[in-house]
Each structure stands twice: as structure tokens, then as C-alpha cells.
Chains A and B, each alone.
Chain A
């Protein structure tokens, strides 16, 4: 099972799946990290702030008592010794010292929890902002101190030291940090997995398309990717791919038919020559018999030469280096010439062959011999396919366009017409509406292909419209002069 769509030789880090996975994982991890880290920071700030407020509040209470009721020793004692002792969580301790740093009141148990001389010295050296120190049993204390005026007006100034046990808060935060780390580690393991699954799922259609593409060859060009069940973008890709296969199959079919036709049309005359010569030489014959065989051989040889000439012409027309011998030609006069040439044939078949006189002369720069050949091929086809009593019309007109003028030549007949399914193929090499390829029903089937080639050489195009039973019209359009 290979999900590696690029190829087996590509390094793993260049695969689409790896890139997608890495992208998803990175994005997911960043998100989790940012979310947890910001939550932690907010939590920590809020907890610290509430502790600060609590401390400030307590300091304020003690100060107020000292200032307003210096004589209320019981109230002070209750505030310092009892209030604090009643708390189980977030225990706090207060010590009241006089100016000579002699303790006046101390919350019971404070000396057990804290190294008091150390606390005093630290409080003296550090600022009045609360800070963290370690207790005797490893707990964390948030401590601060403040001076308080006793009585109003002040008789003396006492010092209040206050410490709050934030061990539980710290434990909570530590727990949070562990959980944060675990989440990160978990994400680190899970996100790449999810990312990989998503990427794989996403590129599976590509892989399937690639698989189909991989085993398509000339023998199974008919295979297609089923467009159902894919997300929209992939369905569009599959559809594009299928259309490409359609075109390939069509081209392939044309090429293989072309090869088959060329083989048929080359073999038949060669076979005739060979057979006739062989039979003729098998025993002695009269001079007339020999003459007849030789004549027939010559006919076949001419047929073969013509075919080779046509094929080479078509091959040469595809060569971009082929250049035309352009000259100024009066197209209407040229059509008259072609009409003259075919007039006798048409008349023999009972067909009227006419050229329509245009309103203005059409002068174009073109290769006269090639254009005669193109129009001649069309007229020849028309004569062959129009029944007695019909008519063939040659017409030319100058179409003035925005950039360049176009010469239009039309050859229309009242013949039997071409079935619509055959129309797109009539310009193909060797294509014949009659599939038997018998010599009697027409030429090699290269005539219209040559017409199209001549048009392409002139930078133009041949188009055909036909109605069965009504007739056929071929239109040649090409620029009035060399566009290059």
C-alpha cells in the first residue's frame, strides 16, 4: 500500500502527505500551546492579584484598628490571633512589631511556619511590594510589610508583617503546568496522527487518479475514473482527466485507423502488380496479353505514386519550414479556370457547374497551384457525389474584418449530403463515408485532408456543412495576404 503519490524515488519529506501532516500538526500544536499558555498566564495573574488584594485588605484592617482604636487591644488580638487561626486554607499570619522591632502580637504558630528573623531582614531589604519566600516546611508564603501609625494623631509607628500561605495556589498552578505539559505532549502525538489521516484522506482521490493513469496504456484507453464520491475539486480533476482520455482515445483511434487504411491502400496496388506479373510469367502468352498485364501494372504503379505523392504532400504540409510560393491571384478568375477544367466531366454527368460572379474582384496573395488543387479536390468530390440534374456552385467573396480581410471560397452542391455523424471526420486522412474502401466509390480519401492542409498552410480553415438529401457546402476561409 503506497500513499506516496509523487513517486517511489522521491524523498519522504517531499511528499504531499508529509507536508500536509506537518502543517496540520504545527498549526494544532501552536493553537494548543497558545491557548494553554495564555490561560495559565491569566490564571496566575488573577490569583496573584486576589492574594495582593487580600493582603492589602488585611493590612488595612489592622492599620485602621491601630489608628482609630489604639486602646482596643482585644479587637486587635482577635483580628491577629483568632481570625487567622480559624482558617484552614490559605492560612495567613500577622506579626505586629513596635519601633524597636519587639513583637507585640503574633498569630499563633507563625514561628513554626516561618523563620521570623530571616523574614524581618528580607522585608527590610526588599521593597514594599509583596514577594515570595519559603517557609520552614517548604511551603510558599506571599509576604509583605507596612508601617502603621498608632493613634490619631500618631503617638508612635508600629510595623505590621503579614504572610499568606499560597502553597495550595502554587500546587494548583503546578498541577495546571503538569496538565499543560501532558496536553502538549498528547497533542504532539495526536496531531500528526490526525493530520496524517486527514492528509491521506484528502489525497486518496489523487492517488486513485494517479493509479488509474499509471496503468492506462494504448490497450485500455477506454478506462475512466468514476467521478462520483469525490469532493468537488477532485471531481473536477477527474473530469478533466477523463476528458483528456477521451481526446487521447479519439486521436489514437484516428491514428490506428490511419495506419490500417494506409496499409490497405498501399498493399492493394502492390498486390495487384505482384499477382498480375506472377500469373503472366507463369506461362508463355501472346503479345497482347503481355501488353495488357504491363498496362495494368503501370496503372497500379501510377495509383501507388499518386498515393505516395499525396502522403508526402500531407507530411510536408505539417513541416513548419514548408513555405508557399505566393503570388497575386484573381480568385474569381482562378475559380473560372477550375470550372473550365471540370466542365466536361460535370456535363457528362448531367450536372450544371457554375461560378457566381462576385460584386468586386477578389485579389489575394496565395500559392496558385495549391489553391487550384484545394478547389479542384472539392469540385471533384462534388461532381462524384451529385446526381444527374443537380448543380454545383463556386463562389468567392472578400470578407472585411477588423484586422485583416479574409477570402471566402464556397463550393456547394445539391448532392446526397453527408450523415451528421460522419461530418467531423471527413477532413481526416483516408476517411471515407463509404467504409468498404472500394476503389469504385472514389479516391483515396485524402482529398479533403489535403484541402485542410492547404488551408492551414495559408493560415486559413476549411469548414463543411451538409444536409442529407439536400447537399453539401464546403467553405474555405484564409487571410487575403501572408499574415507573417
Chain B
């Protein structure tokens, strides 16, 4: 999967390239609108990450010209301004999305995957990781053959981490997915719930599966 990042702020471009490459994407970077437009026309990209404020051509102009040229690749806008939301909605072209700076990289990765329709399949009935087994249909969790007694929310939380195993989930993503809380306030609550989940899923066993990524969130992974 090829991603073109059009971003004039070099540090932002650098960490985007690094992070996305490490997540398995092929990434090209353009420092201004004209170069970006040129690259996008020359090479086929699956996704564009486009800063709104760019020298020479701004993000809107780049997008308009690309669409005129018949390019249908989805675009993820990056902006330091809040007023972008309505405008992105106004385009309504191929499921474009936007992120307001500052954003969590994990959030960006989630949006990129969602735009590329590469979200992990949800249809699985049983998710396994090491000796952990989650039966989504019967809402049952076993570890090393032992049945774990989880509350409904704990089960939802574990399922979420398992569905997106290997992906760092930010506290606000977790709060939204599990409790339908659409705000970023007081994410300490998520920590409390993860701690409780851990006490049941990880604490009794030598192999720890739920890992805290400082400042970013939680990830379920098997580091053997």
C-alpha cells in the first residue's frame, strides 16, 4: 500500500514517514503543494495525507486538481485549525477524513487503515493469542484452559484490544468504543478499567499480553 504525504513541516513529515513505514506502508513525501500534485499524478497512490496549509498550492487546491484529473484515492487532511470539519464534509468525495493537530499517531494509523478499508475483520468467532482464547459468540474468555469471569464491559474492552491486536489504542478510542464516550476528558477511567482487566487476564499468568504504551495507550500483543 502506497501513501503520499504532502506536508511542508519537515518534522511532521519525518515522523509520519517513519511511523507509517514501520506500520508496513510505502511512504513518499512532498514538501509543497505543486510537488505533491506532480507526484500524485505521476505515481499511483492508495492514500494521500494532505496538510491544509501548504506553500504554492494549498490542500484544497491540490485535492480539487487531483479530482479533476480523475484521481479517486482517499485523502486524510491534517490541519491545525478546527474550522476544517465542515469543509471536508462539503467535499464528500471518496470518504475523505481529517485530523486536527495535535493528534495521536495511533489515531492517525487507525484513520489510515479505516480509509484503506483494511480494518481487521470482525467476523471472526474466536480470537486466539498465545494461550488466550476469546469466543465472541458465546462471550467467553479462557486463558490456559481456565475460564475467566469478566464483566460485560471488560469483555468488550478485551475484544476491542484483541480485534486490533498489535495496534496501540489511545484511551479516547477505547472510551468511545467501549462506553460510547465521545470526549477526551478524564481518561484515567480507562486506566482503572484496564487495570481491572489485567488483574483477571494477565496478573495470574507469567506471560503478560496487555502492554501499556506510555503516553499513547494500550496494545494487546504477544512478545515471546
Report A's interface with B, CB cutoff 8 A: 294-299, 301-302, 304-306, 308-309, 312, 316, 337-338, 340-342, 344-345, 348, 368-370, 372-373, 376-377, 380, 443, 447, 450
Contacts and interface: CB of A to CB of B under 8 A. Distances in A.
Contacts of A296: 214-215
A306 B170 CA distance: 13
A369 B182 contact: yes
Interface of A is mostly: helix
A439 to B, nearest CB: 12
A447 B183 CA distance: 12
B189 A341 contact: yes
B215 A299 contact: yes
B188 interface: yes
9 contacts: A296-B214, A299-B214, A301-B215, A337-B180, A337-B181, A338-B181, A341-B179, A341-B189, A376-B186
A380 to B, nearest CB: 4
Interface string B38-56: 0000000000000000000
Contacts of B188: 345
A301 B153 CA distance: 29
B182 A368 contact: yes
A344 B196 contact: yes
B183 A298 contact: no
Given A295-B215, A344-B193, A345-B192, A377 B184 contact: no
Among B82, B186, B193, the one with the most A-chain Cβ atoms within 10 Å of its Cβ is: B186
Contacts, number: 63
Nearest to A302: B215
Contacts of A372: 181-183
B216 interface: yes
Contacts of B27: none
Interface residues of B, number: 21
B214 A295 contact: yes
B85 to A, nearest CB: 11
A308 B189 CA distance: 21
A24 B42 CA distance: 91
Interface in B164-220: 175, 179-186, 188-189, 192-193, 196, 214-216
A298 B216 contact: yes
A369 B175 CA distance: 12
Among B102, B175, B183, the one with the most A-chain Cβ atoms within 10 Å of its Cβ is: B183
Contacts of B185: 373, 376-377, 380, 447, 450
Nearest to B189: A345
Q: Which 7 A-B pairs have the closest CB atoms?
A: A298-B215, A295-B214, A369-B182, A373-B183, A380-B186, A341-B179, A305-B102
A316 B82 contact: yes
A301 B184 CA distance: 14
Nearest to B102: A305
A30 B184 CA distance: 79
A340 B179 contact: yes
Contacts of A341: 175, 179, 181, 189
A458 to B, nearest CB: 15
Contacts of A450: 185
A114 to B, nearest CB: 109
A344 B184 CA distance: 18
Interface in B61-95: 82
Given A298-B214, A299-B214, A342-B189, 14 more contacts: A298-B216, A299-B215, A301-B215, A305-B102, A306-B184, A337-B179, A337-B181, A338-B181, A344-B193, A344-B196, A372-B182, A376-B181, A376-B185, A380-B185
A340 B154 CA distance: 11
Contacts of A370: 183
B215 A312 contact: no
B190 to A, nearest CB: 9
A338 B185 CA distance: 12
A344 B102 contact: no
B215 A377 contact: no
A148 B183 CA distance: 125
